[in-house]
Amino acid sequence: MNDYFGNDEYWKENIHKNLEEDIWIDEYKDYFNGSGLCLDLGCGIGQFTKRLMEYGYDVISSDISDIALNKVKEFNKKIVKADMRKPLQFDDEKFDLVFANLSIHYFSDEETRNLLKEIKRILKDGGLLIGSVNGIQGLQNIKDTAEVLDHHFYLNKGKYIRLFDKKDLKEYLNSFDIIKIEERETIRFNYKKNYIIFIAKKDGK
């Protein structure tokens, strides 16, 4: 099976590149009360983990990549290797915040729906899901090489990728109370990147 992230290809390729740090959460600081337990899901090398710890959260950093988690270990001992395509290995209602920056956009429709159910399960009532996903504008960069697998879901050069518009995101988050969905633009590894940030709350229903 093709498993770009499971085989750690992403961080083998990118670990030595300059990752420009767009710590966009500083602009949304009011939504981060800095207390309680946070899961940084698909944490990568942990630049957001670091900031969330500075905000005051007790952070568990989770990723499928050994290379990335080894980096995170330098400043956070609480790391968990996990594959988001599988049920999350955490108890119900454990977290005050689940954070997922540019990390939940690699999955099929079914995997994405299951993951969001799992995130809801591990959040406390009133807990927040905050993160970002690739915007549909990214299609411009891959349209010549990507195979379309499903609505806004592609296989590009051996890597699965999902691109979102606001409507897709609203649909996937429909079991949460959506507080904010906003489009943004950044530079990542020297490329322009359009992404959508989301802030959603588990309403306890």
Q: What are the residues binding ligand SAM (CB under 6 A)?
A: 5, 10, 42-44, 47-48, 63-65, 68, 82-85, 101-103, 106
Give 10 or 172: the residue with its C-beta nearer to ligand SAM. 10
| DSSP summary character for residue 56 | T
DSSP 118-151: HHHHHEEEEEEEEEEEEBGGGHHHHTTTEEEEET
Q: Among 13, 5, 86, 91, which Cα is nearest to 43's?
A: 5
Minimal distance, residue 157 CB to ligand SAM, in Å: 15
Give 126 or 160: the residue with its C-beta nearer to ligand SAM. 160
Residue 121, classified by CB atoms within 10 Å of its CB into exposed (0-12), middle (13-18) or buried (19+), is middle
- In the bound state, the residue with its beta carbon closest to ligand SAM is 44
Give 8 or 165: the residue with its C-beta nearer to ligand SAM. 8
Minimal distance, residue 45 CB to ligand SAM, in Å: 7
Give 66 or 125: the residue with its C-beta nearer to ligand SAM. 66
Q: What does R_g of the chain's alpha carbons equal in angstroms? A: 16
Give 39 or 173: the residue with its C-beta nearer to ligand SAM. 39
User: What's the Cα-to-Cα distance from 72 to each of 2, 43, 87, 93, 169, rounded to whole Å?
Assistant: 26, 8, 23, 25, 29
Minimal distance, residue 82 CB to ligand SAM, in Å: 6
Minimal distance, residue 203 CB to ligand SAM, in Å: 25
Minimal distance, residue 23 CB to ligand SAM, in Å: 9
